[in-house]
Amino acid sequence: MTRRAWWPLLAVPAVVVLGLVARPFGFGELLVKRPHELLAPPVLALTVLLCARRALATDDLLFAWLTGLAAVFLVREVHFAGSDPITGAGLLLLAVWAAIRRRALRDALLAWRHAPWLYATALCYLLSQLVGKRVFKALPGERGLHIGMEELLETAAHLLFLLCAVLGQAGLGRRRSRRLDALEGSRMPDRGASRADQPG
């Protein structure tokens, strides 16, 4: 199993702390909803492109699945007529795909040394949804904070997702070069056989 560091998971509590201290320390703009809504689509669009690049260049099942997930999130953030049912259908298809290929996806995930960043991304998304559902409404100050905290956590999750896509680009140039070399080698005719076939 690939050895990895788990400190990227600290990104999640760091975002929570940032949301809690934003207003007291004078940068409450971080909790304003509109800037987050404007930032999400381009971040997710770039994530789709980078994940797709990795998937196509390496036949990586994990990044193919992540491409689909990022595309579904992008549809959700664009907010057009019909985006909600498309998002629901997309998530259902991804869940079925993951269930069918769960072993291959698990193996790919365990083999990727940057997987903790993906775990942090998933935790950030999960926490944003819990905050949006007001699971923590019994906590003091939650009423005036939950909308901004949800947006901050979701934007952080989008950015972490983009970081995962960027990290997935590592070594693609070398891999492509090796694949081209292998392809050229497979196409190269056997010179000895060619000479033997020639008439004397």
List, run by run, the mean pLDDT of 10-residue segments along the chain (200 residues): 79 96 94 95 98 96 98 94 93 98 96 95 97 94 93 98 96 63 54 49
Full-model pTM? 0.85
pLDDT of residue 149: 96
pLDDT of residue 200: 43
Is residue 80 a contact partner of residue 197, using CB atoms and an 8 Å limit? no
pLDDT of residue 82: 87
Which position has the token pair 């699971």? 135
pLDDT of residue 132: 94
Length of the chain: 200
pLDDT in tens, 43-54: 999 999 999 999
Neighbours of 85 (CB within 10 A): 8
pLDDT of residue 1: 46
pLDDT of residue 4: 72
Could you tell me which of 138, 135, 163, 146 has the C-alpha nearest to residue 16? 146
C-alpha–C-alpha distance, residues 168 and 48, integer Å? 12
Q: At what angle do helices 102-111 and 83-100 cross, to 10 degrees?
A: 90
